């Protein structure tokens, strides 16, 4: 496993519309599969994707949906989701996505903030009273037919049947118009919407295609939620540049992973530290040789969201005989840095992304020299254009530099090493979780007086959620009480893994809750549980 010091020269990235790329692949290889939905036993060719996205564009034209008009799609990972993902952008409107696993109140707040022109929702999704209480023209859909002729859902896809898929409606957008709005956890309890333009998403897609050497023969395995921006940036947009195929599942399944890779002849697989840890944690006697053999179609597995220790990296490669390619990004910053598949430095997350003006800065915002540790700051054409704030207002980002909240250093060859995290985000299984959001939910319990949520090490998922709660005087609050309360207000992945009823919560000199001190308290009390 060589570690070439420098990658090949980055390409000169020029803007290409979604329509032009889909059309190119449909002309080049019309019968080549581009999307395979594992659990639906359905696939889509480039010709079929071209025709269906043309139909959707015609449908949106008929409803006078133009550039920067917001189209919200509510569904889980499905072929229908991706037809709409590419179709809305091919038309030139703004594709908006929300995690459908969040509770109804949270979803209502986000929908009201988006104020969409149209909401396309899967009719199997329990939307409660959302269509009556939130904005937008709600249009249901069911199962799509790849040929666009047999859908009988009484909604969107049946309406597309009568439209001409060979006609090519004009695009309504330009490079600077909004392509996607997604939501990310920040340091506040109400996540910001991130607005990406067609131009900066073009940069992001081309970036991964370059790092991974994507080709039409590639089959990329994806199982993360399509509501995550990282799925867009690392898989869905790069597909348009490489012209290969995305094979996807509704969610990750360790028991099925090796069969997926073998049966679908996967060449590149998405990975996160939790998946890598599961692969390293398995019993070597339980069919390891067979599973290693199943993975040999893989050129590599990616790894993002949090850096791996070098020991983990080397052990994975020696066990499975395939490369790990680490990279590092953020919802609003695209690819901050990445290792090239032909030029890696184990222990690093690679070199700065294409167009990224990456600096390591001190507490005063001054740039530091190579080898010095500081906060990672970025600027460049990959960055999002704006935030959609909780009040619905637009906060411009374009032209501004972004502080990542992560600590790092650049080595003498320009490779970035992550050394710590300045921000308070908990990263569990590749998902960013704002501790303040959990704090605010717990504080709604009538018997809770103080609360502090922290992330502590977890051998498999990277971090787990620990919630310290101080009860009100005279109240007998229990961990079970808090668990039941959170179950009604938070999605499963944000619920505390462990709740500790405490007498006090540490505070800093300014009187603010000191999460670092509480994390250290847990570490000292659980020496035997540390990975």
**For residue 114, what is the domain's CATH number?**
3.40.50.12780
Look up residue 177 and give its two tokens.
Answer: 């118009």
CA-based nearest residue to 55, from 95, 88, 20:
88
Q: What spatial distance separates the first Cα and last Cα of the chain, rounded to whole Å?
A: 27
Report whether 170 contacts 90 (CB < 8 A): no
Report whether 434 contacts 186 (CB < 8 A): yes
CA-based nearest residue to 97, from 77, 72, 115, 79:
72
Sign of the torsion angle spanned by Cα atoms 272, 408, 434, 354: negative
What are phi and psi for residue 338, nearest 5 degrees? -160, 145
Report whether 71 contacts 78 (CB < 8 A): no
- Run of H or E including 91: helix 79-91
Beta bridge partners of 247: 36, 221
CA-based nearest residue to 199, from 175, 235, 164, 166:
175
Are 161 and 221 in the same domain? Answer: no
495 assigned to some structural domain: yes
Report whether 66 contacts 277 (CB < 8 A): no
Are 271 and 342 in the same domain? Answer: yes
Are 260 and 353 in the same domain? Answer: yes
Residue 487's domain comprises: 426-529
Q: For the purposes of burial, counting CB atoms within 10 Å of the CB of 508, is it exposed (0-12), middle (13-18) or buried (19 or more)?
A: exposed
pLDDT value for 482? 94
Rounded Cα–Cα distance for residues 227 and 182 (Å): 7
Give the three-state DSSP class for 33.
strand
Contacts of residue 265, Cβ cutoff 8 Å, sequence gap at least 6: 219, 297
pLDDT value for 472? 85
Look up residue 84 and give its two tokens.
Answer: 């709409």
Residue 513: CATH number of its domain:
3.30.300.30
CA-based nearest residue to 269, from 281, 286, 252, 282:
252
Are 472 and 414 in the same domain? Answer: no
465 assigned to some structural domain: yes
Look up residue 460 and give its two tokens.
Answer: 């498999």
pLDDT value for 28? 97
Domain boundary among 124, 147, 173: 173
Are 491 and 507 in the same domain? Answer: yes
pLDDT tens over the chain, length 531 residues: 446 678 899 999 999 999 999 999 999 999 999 999 999 999 999 999 999 999 999 999 999 999 999 999 999 999 999 999 999 999 999 999 998 887 788 889 999 999 999 999 999 888 888 998 999 999 999 988 888 777 777 789 999 988 999 999 999 999 999 999 998 754 445 678 999 999 999 999 999 999 999 999 999 999 999 998 889 999 999 999 999 999 999 999 999 999 999 999 999 999 988 788 888 877 777 788 899 999 999 999 999 866 677 878 888 999 999 999 999 998 899 999 999 999 999 989 999 999 999 999 998 999 999 999 899 999 999 999 999 998 899 999 988 999 998 888 999 999 999 887 666 778 888 787 878 788 888 988 999 888 999 999 998 888 999 999 999 888 889 999 999 999 988 888 899 999 999 998 887 765 667 888 999 999 998 876 655
How many CB atoms sit inside 10 A of residue 450's CB?
18
203 assigned to some structural domain: no
202 assigned to some structural domain: no
The pairing of beta strand 219-222 with beta strand 192-197? unpaired
Are 220 and 267 in the same domain? Answer: yes
pLDDT value for 187? 44
Contacts of residue 520, Cβ cutoff 8 Å, sequence gap at least 6: none
Give the chain's count of helices (H) and strands (E).
Answer: 16, 26
189 assigned to some structural domain: no
Domain boundary among 150, 173, 196: 173
Rounded Cα–Cα distance for residues 178 and 385 (Å): 8
Are 228 and 309 in the same domain? Answer: yes
Question: In what side-by-side order are the strands of the sheet with 359-361?
Answer: 359-361, 374-378, 402-410, 416-421
Report whether 440 contacts 375 (CB < 8 A): no
Are 419 and 457 in the same domain? Answer: no
Look up residue 391 and give its two tokens.
Answer: 């009040």
Q: Which residue has the tokens 């939905």?
A: 37
E strands along 149-275, which residues?
A: 178-184, 192-197, 219-222, 245-248, 268-269
Look up residue 333 and give its two tokens.
Answer: 């910053």
Q: Which residue has the tokens 């001054």?
A: 366
Are 111 and 229 in the same domain? Answer: no
How many CB atoms sit inside 10 A of residue 394's CB?
13
Rounded Cα–Cα distance for residues 259 and 291 (Å): 8
Rounded Cα–Cα distance for residues 494 and 522 (Å): 19
Q: For the purposes of burial, counting CB atoms within 10 Å of the CB of 374, is it exposed (0-12), middle (13-18) or buried (19 or more)?
A: buried
Beta bridge partners of 477: none
79 assigned to some structural domain: yes
Are 337 and 443 in the same domain? Answer: no
Domain boundary among 146, 173, 200: 173
3 assigned to some structural domain: no
pLDDT value for 530? 55
Map 439-479 to HEC letters: HHHHCCCCCEEEEEEEEEEECCCEEEEEEEEEECCCCCCCH
Are 369 and 453 in the same domain? Answer: no
Are 299 and 369 in the same domain? Answer: yes
The number of folded domains in the chain is: 3
How many CB atoms sit inside 10 A of residue 354's CB?
21
Rounded Cα–Cα distance for residues 405 and 187 (Å): 10
CA-angle at 424, arms to 421 and 430, nearest 5°: 75
């Amino acid at each position: 496993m060589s570690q070439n010091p420098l990658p090949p020269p980055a390409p000169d990235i020029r803007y290409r519309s979604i329509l032009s790329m889909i059309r190119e692949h449909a002309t080049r290889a019309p019968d080549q599969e581009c999307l395979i939905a594992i659990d639906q036993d359905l696939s889509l060719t480039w010709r079929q994707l071209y025709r269906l996205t043309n139909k959707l564009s015609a449908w949106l034209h008929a409803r006078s949906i133009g550039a920067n008009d917001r189209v919200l799609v509510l569904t889980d990972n499905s072929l229908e989701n991706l037809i709409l993902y590419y179709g809305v952008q091919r038309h030139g409107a703004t594709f908006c996505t929300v995690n459908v696993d969040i509770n109804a109140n949270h979803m209502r707040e986000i929908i009201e903030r988006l104020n969409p022109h149209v909401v396309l929702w899967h009719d199997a999704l329990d939307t409660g009273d959302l269509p009556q209480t939130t904005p937008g023209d709600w249009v249901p859909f069911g199962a799509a037919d790849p040929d666009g002729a047999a859908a009988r859902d009484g909604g969107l896809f049946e309406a597309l049947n009568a439209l001409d898929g060979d006609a090519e409606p004009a695009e309504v957008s330009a490079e600077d118009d909004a392509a996607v709005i997604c939501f990310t956890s920040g340091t506040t309890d109400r996540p910001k919407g991130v607005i990406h333009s067609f131009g900066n998403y073009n940069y992001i897609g081309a970036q991964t295609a370059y790092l991974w050497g994507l080709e039409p023969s590639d089959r990329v395995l994806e199982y993360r939620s399509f509501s995550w921006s990282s799925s867009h940036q690392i898989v869905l947009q790069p597909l348009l540049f490489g012209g290969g195929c995305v094979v996807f599942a509704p969610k990750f399944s360790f028991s099925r992973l090796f069969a997926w890779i073998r049966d679908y002849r996967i060449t590149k697989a998405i990975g996160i530290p939790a998946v890598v840890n599961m692969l390293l944690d398995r019993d070597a006697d339980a069919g390891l040789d067979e599973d290693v053999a199943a993975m040999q179609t893989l050129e590599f597995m990616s790894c993002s969201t949090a850096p791996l220790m070098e020991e983990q990296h080397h052990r994975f490669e020696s066990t499975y005989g395939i490369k790990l390619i680490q990279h590092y990004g953020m919802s609003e910053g695209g690819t901050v840095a990445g290792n090239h598949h032909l030029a890696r430095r184990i222990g690093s997350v690679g070199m700065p992304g294409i167009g990224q003006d990456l600096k390591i800065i001190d507490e005063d915002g001054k740039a530091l020299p190579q080898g010095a540790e500081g906060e990672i700051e970025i600027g460049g054409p990959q960055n999002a254009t704006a935030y959609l704030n909780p009040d619905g207002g637009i906060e411009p980002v374009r032209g501004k530099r972004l502080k990542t909240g992560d600590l790092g250093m650049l080595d003498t060859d320009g490779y970035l090493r992550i050394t710590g995290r300045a921000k308070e985000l908990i990263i569990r299984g590749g998902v960013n979780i704002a501790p303040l959001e959990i704090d605010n939910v717990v504080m709604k319990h009538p018997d809770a007086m103080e609360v502090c949520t922290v992330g502590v090490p977890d051998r498999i998922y990277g971090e787990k959620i620990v919630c310290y709660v101080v009860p009100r005087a005279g109240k007998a609050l229990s961990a079970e009480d808090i668990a039941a309360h959170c179950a009604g207000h938070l999605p499963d992945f944000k619920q505390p893994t462990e709740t500790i009823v405490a007498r006090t919560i540490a505070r800093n000199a300014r009187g603010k809750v000191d999460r670092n001190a509480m994390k250290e308290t847990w570490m000292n009390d659980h020496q035997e549980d540390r990975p």
